[in-house]
Amino acid sequence: MSLADVIASLLLLSGCLFYVAGTVGLLRFPDVFARLHALTKADNLGLFLICTGLAVHSGSLRIAGLLLIVWLLGLLAATVSCYLIARRAVRSGQMEPPAMEPRS
Amino acid sequence: MIGLAIDSVLALGIVWLALQTVRSVSMLQAVLMFIVFGLLMSLAWARLHAPDLALAEAAIGAGITGALLLVTWRRLQADGHDPVDSELPAQSKWLTIPTACAAALLIVIVGWIALQLPAVPGTAGDLAWQRLGEIGVSNPVTGVLLGFRAYDTLMEMAVLLAAWLGARAVATTYRPGALPGPVHVEVPLVGALLSLVVPISILVAVYLLQAGGSAPGGAFQGGAVLAAGGVLLFLTGRLEAAPRTSGLERVGLILGIAVFSLMGLMVMATGGHMLALPGAWAIYLVETALLLSIALSLVLLFAAAPGLRRMS
């Protein structure tokens, strides 16, 4: 097992840990905002770690570049869907919005 | 060992999700279970070294079908037709459990017999594999779809057109504004998302089409990805339902069948067999037409509208 393999395994395992943490948050947290917070933040980092781990494992710049695009697209989709879900939750009035900065 | 563990989790997960899909009390839950079921099926195809099927299952089975089911659920709700458990037929334990066991037993017996069969030399698959070079593409899946079983692919396009016509016939009442869904107010972030994701969906669709000749990909996968971009434009109110199917849309809907049939007939006129496409250029031409027709049919099915137009 080479050094690259060890690094890749560590990155993949820590990425999985973040996914587990995010999923536990999704299942256990009380309201929409806390759940979104847990899910998007932890999963984005988890995806980053898994992509980095796979890039190290592949040892190819081309694949690393493709994985970077995968991560960026994942970030984009997660950000916008998180925003839309939170917006919907605030608008529908079922949920008190979290303490927000007053608009200047 | 790890491979076996992953396969076992996948197999058990697929059966469990299938059970959940048919047993869910709420329709929304069943739809969500079905989407996850499609994703796991896609992983299973990938594990079976069938990346073409994995792509198709993820794009069409989980993606577009899931979106169609979700929008149907949404419309049923908006029509005051809240589909909850009360409308599902009551399940009888004494009937379902023995039926399920008998079906499982049947599958096990058929699978076991299939595994016992001796390998027959010279099957259609072997012949196709040997003569793949004559088709002009190196991806065997594309070769089979457009070369050796072109009739099937042509008929699939006819089925897709028939499905759209059927949906069109059922959804005869056009009610502008009655349909929920499109976000008419301008939401920040959505415009930025669209300006990135829609061009990417076009790029990926063209890439899948081009890659289909030598690697996993093809018209169906590319069409589904392109359709996803169209669905996004419809959901965010960039496209809206039009009361009529425009001439361009009519051309687009039949483009795949028309180009495929014309190519097939032209080959026959020059002395070849019907639908025996002469080389890679013909395959790419037909696939491009198929891709456009598939994408347009799927978007129109999703919109449940006769046509689409830019939001005024």
What single string gives the DSSP state of each residue in A27-61?
HH-SSHHHHHHHHHHHHHHHHHHHHHHHHHHHT-H
- The rounded percent of chain B whose pLDDT value lies above 90 is 36
CA closest to B186 among chain A residues:
A84
Distance from the Cα of A76 to chain B's closest Cα (Å) equals 7
Residues B154 and B258 both lie in one domain: yes
When pLDDT is averaged across residues B96-123 and rounded to a whole number, the result is 89
Which residue would you say has higher pLDDT here, A28 or B185? Answer: A28
Q: Is A13 an interface residue toward B (CB < 8 Å)?
A: no
Residues B159 and B262 both lie in one domain: yes
Checking ipTM against 0.90, whether it exceeds it is no
- pLDDT of A47 over the 90 cut: yes
The answer to whether residue B129 is domain-embedded is no
Residues B47 and B175 both lie in one domain: no
Residues B101 and B181 both lie in one domain: no
Note whether B278 and B135 are within 8 A (CB). no
Domain boundary among B87, B117, B147: B117
The answer to whether residue B181 is domain-embedded is yes
User: Which range, of B4-18, B29-43, B117-131, averages the lowest pLDDT?
Assistant: B117-131
Q: Which residues of B touch A87 (CB under 8 A)?
A: 187
CA closest to B201 among chain A residues:
A73
Task: Give Cβ neighbours of residue B265 (< 8 Å, ≥ 6 apart).
Answer: B274
Residues B176 and B294 both lie in one domain: yes
The verdict on a CB contact (< 8 Å) between B189 and A73 is: no
Q: What angle do CA B287, B291, B297 make, to 5 degrees?
A: 140
How many angstroms separate the CA atoms of A50 and A67, rounded?
9
**Beta-ladder partners of B310:** B239
The answer to whether residue B281 is domain-embedded is yes
State the burial class of residue A17 (Cβ atoms within 10 Å of its Cβ: 0-12, 13-18, 19+).
middle
CA closest to B189 among chain A residues:
A80
Q: Is B36 an interface residue toward A (CB < 8 Å)?
A: no
Residues B173 and B50 both lie in one domain: no
The verdict on a CB contact (< 8 Å) between B187 and A84 is: yes
When pLDDT is averaged across residues A39-51 and rounded to a whole number, the result is 91
When pLDDT is averaged across residues B25-37 and rounded to a whole number, the result is 89
Residues B151 and B6 both lie in one domain: no
When pLDDT is averaged across residues B171-180 and rounded to a whole number, the result is 55
Closest C-alpha among B300, B293, B224 to residue B252: B293
The verdict on a CB contact (< 8 Å) between B189 and A80 is: yes
* Portion 176-195 of B in contact with A at CB < 8 A: 187, 189-190, 192-193
The answer to whether residue B124 is domain-embedded is no
Closest C-alpha among B178, B153, B173, B182 to residue B256: B153
The answer to whether residue B250 is domain-embedded is yes
Q: Are strands B307-310 and B239-242 parallel, antiparallel or unpaired?
A: antiparallel
Q: Which residues of A touch B200 (CB under 8 A)?
A: 73
Closest C-alpha among B247, B255, B199 to residue B226: B199
Tally of domains within chain B:
2
- The rounded percent of chain A whose pLDDT value lies above 70 is 89
> Mutate which of A84, A85, A90, A92 to test chain B, going by most B C-beta atoms within 10 A?
A84
Residues B10 and B109 both lie in one domain: yes
- pLDDT of A2 over the 60 cut: yes
Residues B264 and B150 both lie in one domain: yes
Residues B172 and B104 both lie in one domain: no
Q: Is B196 an interface residue toward A (CB < 8 Å)?
A: yes
User: Which range, of B46-60, B81-95, B136-150, B155-169, averages the lowest pLDDT?
Assistant: B81-95
Task: Give Cβ neighbours of residue B112 (< 8 Å, ≥ 6 apart).
Answer: none
Q: What is the pLDDT of residue A102?
A: 58
Domain boundary among B117, B146, B176: B117
Q: Is A10 an interface residue toward B (CB < 8 Å)?
A: no
The answer to whether residue B127 is domain-embedded is no
Q: Is A72 an interface residue toward B (CB < 8 Å)?
A: no
Q: Is A73 an interface residue toward B (CB < 8 Å)?
A: yes
- pLDDT of B46 over the 50 cut: yes
The answer to whether residue B290 is domain-embedded is yes
Q: What is the pLDDT of residue A81?
A: 87
The pair of structure tokens assigned to B68 is 């169609």
Q: What is the value of pTM for the model shown?
A: 0.83
Residues B178 and B283 both lie in one domain: yes
Residues B74 and B158 both lie in one domain: no
B172 band by pLDDT with thresholds 50, 70 and 90 = low
**What are the pLDDT digits (tens) for B217-231?**
888 889 999 999 999
The answer to whether residue B62 is domain-embedded is yes
Q: What is the pLDDT of residue A104?
A: 47
Task: Identify the domain containing residue B142 by its residue range.
Answer: 137-312
Chain A with chain B: Cβ pairs closer than 8 A: 17
- pLDDT of B86 over the 60 cut: no
